Amino acid sequence: MTIDYRSDTQTRPSKEMLDFMFSAKVGDDVFGEDPAINELEGMAADMFGMEASVFCPSGTMTNQIAIKCHTQPGDEVICDVASHIYQYEGGGIAFNSGASVKLLYGDRGRITAQQVLENINADDVHKPHSSLVSLENTSNRGGGSCYDLEEIRKIKKVCSDSNLRLHLDGARLFNALVEKKESPKDYGQLFESISVCLSKSLGCPVGSLLLGKKDFIKKARRVRKVFGGGMRQAGYLAAAGIYALKNNVDRLKQDHDHAKHIAEALKKKSFVGEMLPVETNIIIFAVKKPWTAASFVDKLKESGILGHPISSTQVRLVTHLDVTPSMVEKTIDVINKL
Ligand SMILES: Cc1ncc(COP(=O)(O)O)c(C=O)c1O
């Protein structure tokens, strides 16, 4: 038995999800004629209380489309240094939008309203035009940390006062919503655009959604086409999203409990160094010498447990839909014996 904690993207669609996908009614979505995609886009928009949404192949694409729509070449995007949009999207902010970034050093991927306020450039010809703030909730590199909704409200006020747009990379927003008992509508009111992934904790094989106002989504559809993301009978994939939004959201609490149990076992071991607080489904911890992250991951692999070294000393484990309670028990057993 292999237990795969490398990422929550490692899930396989369940039989029920596959049956639902096979029964989808599909059409050519570039013509706007795919009933399953139209249903998913409408369902997500209603859920967040936003006007519209567009289905895309990946979270990278939804983020990059949003940045392209919100900025002009030469503009500056304000975000945390650990943001996925900056660290892990291939330099797409510069490549796709010709924009630069103002990196803030937040707390586990989360920035404050005060930091944003202090980093908006003056209206000065020497300075790039600050046009967009991007937040990430939960923060991947921050170890699945969740924002405080009150702080986001303050950030929104700073953005509104200075005429900046606010985007949310909500690849794992549903983890935050379930953990903090918040509603999607709380978020829909605060952001000009929200990206959510269906292919991470929600267990779909493919897909992300970008949400916003009607005019924004109209523009986003044009950019999606330019980026090569216009899909045809992709309703089979959208059906997985419909299934996931109906069935796989509330259960995320189980993934968080699993992560906390594994973290407790790790904390008892003398070879485990600093661990980021475990708030949702991501565990990031350091291993002490003589272990390196790579050698520790190799050791776990001998017992069929897969983890991900994210630096020379830090290991990341991510729980998800395909990690069962008995797998967690086995993992704790292996850790106890190390
Ligand atoms: C926070 C965050 N945003 C965006 C993405 C990009 O998603 P995708 O892999 O679908 O492009 C990821 C992927 O891991 C992520 O963790």
Please write the tens of the pLDDT for every residue from 147-162: 999 999 999 999 999 9
Tell me, what amino acid is at 128? P
**Atom 7 (ligand 1) nearest CA:** 59
Predicted confidence band of residue 1 (pLDDT cuts 50, 70, 90): confident
The mean pLDDT of 265-291, rounded to a whole number, is: 97
Cα 270 to chain centroid, rounded:
32
**Atom 4 (ligand 1) nearest CA:** 59
Give residue 211's pLDDT: 98
Please write the tens of the pLDDT for every residue from 79-113: 999 999 999 999 999 999 999 999 999 999 999 99
Q: How far is the CA of 60 from the centre of ligand 1 (A)?
A: 6
Q: How far is the CA of 171 from the centre of ligand 1 (A)?
A: 6
What's the start-to-end Cα distance of the chain, in Å?
19
CA dist 304 → 105, 252, 257, 334 (Å): 37, 24, 21, 10
Q: How far is the CA of 338 from the centre of ligand 1 (A)?
A: 32
Please write the tens of the pLDDT for every residue from 33-69: 999 999 999 999 999 999 999 999 999 999 999 999 9
Give residue 48's pLDDT: 98
CA dist 110 → 66, 127, 168, 175, 252 (Å): 20, 25, 12, 16, 21
Q: Indicate which atom in ligand 1 lies nearest the CA of residue 57.
A: 10
Give residue 64's pLDDT: 98
List, chain by chain if needed, residues with CB within 6 Å of any ligand 1 atom: 58-60, 63, 84, 136, 140, 169, 171, 197, 199, 208
Q: Indicate which atom in ligand 1 lies nearest the CA of residue 169.
A: 3
Sign of CA dihedral 108, 252, 168, 148: negative
